[in-house]
Amino acid sequence: MWGGRAQVLFRLWGLRPAGVPGRRVLSCHAASEEGSGSARCWNCGSPGRGDGFFCHQCRALQPPDPTRDYFSLMDCNRSFRVNTTKLQHRFQQLQRLVHPDFFNQRSQTEKDFSEKHSTLVNEAYKTLLAPLSRGLYLLKLHGIEIPKGTDYEMDSQFLMEIMEINEKLAEAQSEAAVKEIESTIQDDFEEAKEILTKMKYFSNIEEKIKLKKIPYS
């Protein structure tokens, strides 16, 4: 029911919303270097984070990088389509790297950081694994959130509008034309709330159905 419309909608997320600077997709390593280039190790004072988690000089675990979003943390492209097998492998890799069980003999500071890293990795994994939470998180990255308990009426012309915007972008031959299209994108992200809000209701029903089926299995 939602597949075709949602896929066309999320193609739009390759564009930049009005007023938001362009962002390139970062791998985990690139994100860590960009977000923490000026950071210094809390233990030895060396600049940078090395591999993104440990100081390259003293190998002390560093605090989570506040500039890294879930996609870069989990080494995924910022897209609605995610390779869940790769996501699971990345989750297991990171937990082997930062799980508190591996820091029993380290300093209290590193123990605290490992707790924060592990919690963040769990949250990122759960968010990106489910299509609904992944879509909502993508909207959040673009400054759009769906308030709880809010309903939106679906616009019957929504799909056509998205297709027209993509066609205009493909045909744009000047900076002025691109800027004109860019100015309309924020409104289109508002439209995305309509689809995702309804997806929230259907997701809730789906979970209730699963619970109802358990006694009969």
Q: In terms of pLDDT, which residue wins out, 184 or 78?
A: 78
pLDDT at 211 over 90: no
Mean pLDDT calculated for residue range 68-88: 92
Binning pLDDT at 50, 70 and 90, where does residue 13 land?
A: very low
Q: In terms of pLDDT, which residue wins out, 162 or 62?
A: 62
CA distance 204 to 26: 33
Taking only the tens place, the pLDDT of each residue in 174-198 is: 888 877 777 776 666 666 667 777 7
- Whole-model pTM: value is 0.57
Mean pLDDT calculated for residue range 102-116: 95
pLDDT at 34 over 60: no
How many C-beta neighbours within 10 Å does residue 23 have?
A: 11
Binning pLDDT at 50, 70 and 90, where does residue 158 land?
A: low
pLDDT at 131 over 60: yes
Binning pLDDT at 50, 70 and 90, where does residue 163 land?
A: low
Percent of the chain with pLDDT over 70: 65
pLDDT at 102 over 90: yes
